[in-house]
Structure 1
Amino acid sequence: MGTWDIGPFDNDTAADFGGDLDDATSEERASMVRGALERAARPADHLDTPDGERAVAAVALVVAQHSDGEPACSNHGPSKPLPELPAALRTLAVDALDRVVSDASELAELWAEAANGSRWRRDIARLRDVLDPPIPPQEEVLFEI
C-alpha cells in the first residue's frame, strides 16, 4: 500500500486522483468526484482498495465545500479549484464512506491491520460527521412543569 499517512490524499491512488482532477477540464471535475463516490457507494461484493482511496479523497473535496468543513489541505490533492459541487453529493459521500469502513471493504481490512488504523477510522468519522452530524443525546425529562 503506497500510503504515508492517514489523510484523504496521503496515498498514491488518491494523489493520482488529485492530479487527474487538475488535468481535467472544469466541466469534468464534478463528474469525476461523483464517479469516485458512486463506485464506492454502489452495492458490490467487495470494495477494492483503489476505489476506496479515491472515494475518501472525493469525500474530502465534498467536505471542503461544506460550511462546517475544512479545506482538503494536502500537497497531494488537486491544486486547481473545483467547481461548486452539488449538495446532493453529500448523501452519496456518506454512503461511500459507509462502504469504505464496512466489512466488505479491502481498505478497511488493511487499516484494521495498521498501527494507526484507529486514527484513520477517527478521521473517516470526522469527515462523515460534517456531512451527517450525529444527533446529540437528549436528556430525559423527569418532570414537566
Structure 2
Amino acid sequence: MGTWGMGHFDSDTAADFTGSLDDAPPGKREALIEEALTSAARTGAEEYLDAYDGVVAVAAAALLAAQMPGGAPVDSVYGPDDPLPPLDPKLRGLAVRALDRVVADESELLELWADVSQDEQWSAGVRALRASLTEPGGQEAG
C-alpha cells in the first residue's frame, strides 16, 4: 500500500483518484465521486471490500464533506488541483453508507491498518469524517 499517512488523501490511490477528477470535464466530476461512493456502499456486509475501493470512497467522502457548511477543507497537496463544482448534498447518505462499510468487518483497508496497529486511530478519523456528513442532530441526509 503506497500510503504515507492517515489523512484521507495520504496514499497513491487517493492521489490518483483526485488526479482523475482533475482530468475529467467539470460536468463529469460529480459522477466520478458518486461512483466511488457507490462502489463501497453497495458491497454487502458479508462481502470483502477491496482496499482500493475503500481508499477512493474515503477520499470522495472527504471532498463532499469539504463542501458542507463548516466542513474541513481539503488542505492536502494530493487533493484535486481544480475546484470541484458544487456537489449534490443528497450524496451525503451514500457517503455515510460507504464510510460505514469501510470501517466494518470484511474491509481490507481496515485490516491493513490493523496489521500496523493503527486501525483504531485510522477508523476514528473515518468516523469523524462520517459525523461531518450528517445533519445537525446526527441525521444523515438522503
Q: TM-score, normalised by structure 1?
A: 0.88
Instruction: Please point out which of 93, 112, 126 is paired with 1:91.
Output: 93
Q: What is residue 101 of structure 1 aligned with on the other side?
A: 103
Q: Percent identity?
A: 51
Aligned length: 136
CA shift for structure 1 position 42: 0.1
Structure 1: gaps spanning 5 or more residues: 137-145
Runs of 4+ in 1 over 3 A off after TM superposition: 133-136
- Higher Rg: 1
- Alpha-carbon displacement from aligned partner over 1:27-53 (angstroms, at most 9, x marks no partner): 010000000000000034111000000
Instruction: Please state how far the C-alpha of 1:135 moved relative to its aligned partner.
Output: 5.2
CA contact (8 A) 2:111 2:119 kept: no
C-alpha change, 1:107 and 1:67, in structure 2 (3 Å) is same
**103-112 or 125-134, larger mean C-alpha shift:** 125-134
Q: Does 1:74 align with 2:58?
A: no
Secondary structure of 1:30 counterpart: helix
Backbone CA RMSD of aligned residues: 1.5
The equivalent of 2:116 in structure 1 is 114
State the distance in 1 between where 2:127 and 2:88 align. Answer: 22
Match of 1:6 in 2: 6
| Structure 2 residue runs without a partner (length 5+) | none
Paired letter, 1:36: A
Question: Once the 2 structures are TM-superposed, how far is the Cα of residue 57 of structure 1 from its aligned partner?
Answer: 0.2
Per the normalisation by structure 2, the TM-score is 0.90
- How far did 1:115 drift? 3.5
Change (3 A) 1:85 1:103: same
Q: Match of 2:71, SS?
A: coil
Shift of 1:111: 1.1
Distance 1:87 1:133 in 2: 10
